[in-house]
Chains A and B, each alone.
Chain A
Amino acid sequence: MCDQTFVAATFGPCECCGKASPLMNIYIKTEAINYCSFCVEVMACAGLTAGESVASLKKESETLKKKLEEERGKLSDIELNQVAEKVEVLGALAIKTRRVLKGHGNKVLCMDWCKDKRRIDGKVIVWDAFTLNKEHGLNLPCTWVMACAYAPSGCAVACGGLDNKCSVFPLSLDKNENLNAKKKSVAMHTNYVSGCTFTSSDMQLLTSSGDGTCALWDVESGQLLQSFHGHTADVLSLDLAPSETGNTFVSGGSDRKSNIWDMRSGQNVQSFESHESDINCVKYYPSGDAFASASDDATCRFFDLRADREVAVYQKDSVIFGASTLDFSLSGRLLFAGYNDYTINVWDVLKGTRASILFGHENRVSRVRVSPDGTALCSASWDNTLRIWS
């Protein structure tokens, strides 16, 4: 007859649908379930894994997390720097500034090398690194360009920033041509674009954004091919795995986590959380089996993907400013990291010690990149210049 009337001891928000209504106090496996009558029926009919509630899920996630920690702990039989004791100590590095590129009217936030190692692109200027000539100049409608990347063919550049978009500009040798006219908006995010990179071809673009997601776009049509959800705060950086190791990339964000993603499925395959503050930059090790991250907690950390854990921390008591950028040398032995105290620290990746400090910039170092052939390092800074070191 009337199955809606029952004696209810409590009234309040239902744990399932959230509506305030008389709650049926029932117990499933000694756990109190406070659902309204409708939800209890739904639960009974749907044959849910009985007793699934926020509380039981939380418990399960706690036990899973503990299990993961244990498994990771079992793998940690030795420290990287202990294994590396057999390696020869690095000799003194003779690296100094060879070029200073002035021409930006404001802070330089990002730069990228071209495959043929001669041109660098920094906040809309394409330079020839040897002769210091400016080859192209682009004007963007947005005031802050936070990410830029060279296409593998060298024929286009992608840049994005506070305009929430990432646009691709084809480059031409004709200096008179207005490059802005050929601009194509490819990526559309709901917050600033923090990083971008082309994948193996000129046709696909991977972007990371302040809206907490990363996305893969088709350049020609502007279509979203895959999106990557999982970060719980702004994604500040991303890096593509070196080509031999397949379709994965790493991203780091303000939620202090760095995640490894499979580009085809959109799945988050591995996650690392050991930094104490925002991760500003992530970069793969040249072999593709590891990556490093630079953070506002003044440390850079090295994570091995196959051992699924952090294997080294690069820090010193005297280094108290956040690291905003990093890059590996060609062999992976050296790690160059740019800091907010205007210096670049060069770390010995294997031994965990600092090999050298590079002074010269007069403001924060916003980006460091080693040239594709490994002969030089370029650093971009808030002092409006780029420096080439070798």
Chain B
Amino acid sequence: MSSKMQSSSSMAQARLMVQQLRMEARFEGIKVSKASSDLMRYCGEHAKNEPLLMGIPTSENPFKDKKPCTVL
């Protein structure tokens, strides 16, 4: 039983795969050099605003350890 099912579904699967590949083949890509330079530019533009990269002065870090203070 299973082999009969396989032969008709493998036909359908093969057709679907060919259709998908045909669609992907139409894709127009750009060169890696252009894509990489765009990525670098994006990093450069946003790196100034990046707290994890630049580091924030401890006074402004909302997560800094709070020292316990006692009121005398």
Contacts and interface: CB of A to CB of B under 8 A. Distances in A.
A260 B38 CA distance: 20
Interface in B26-62: 27, 29-40, 42-47, 49-53, 55-56, 61-62
B10 interface: yes
Interface residues of B, number: 49
A13 B21 contact: no
Main secondary structure of the interface of A (DSSP, over half): loop
Given A18-B4, A19-B4, A304 B40 contact: no
A95 interface: yes
A331 B4 contact: no
A65 B21 contact: yes
A317 interface: no
Nearest to A390: B63
Given A18-B4, A350-B43, A390-B63, A270 B24 contact: yes
A18 B52 contact: no
Nearest to B4: A18
A60 B11 CA distance: 13
Contacts, number: 183
Contacts of B36: 78, 80, 83-84, 304, 311
Contacts of A130: 62-63
B39 A332 contact: yes
A71 B30 CA distance: 10
Interface stretch (A137-145, A154-162, A247-255, A284-292): A284-292
A13 B53 CA distance: 65
Interface stretch (A163-171, A207-215, A360-368, A369-377): A369-377
B72 interface: no
Contacts of A98: 61, 63-65
Contacts of B50: 329-331, 333, 374
B70 interface: no
Contacts of A19: 4
A79 B37 CA distance: 11
Interface of B: 3-8, 10-11, 14-15, 17-18, 20-25, 27, 29-40, 42-47, 49-53, 55-56, 61-65
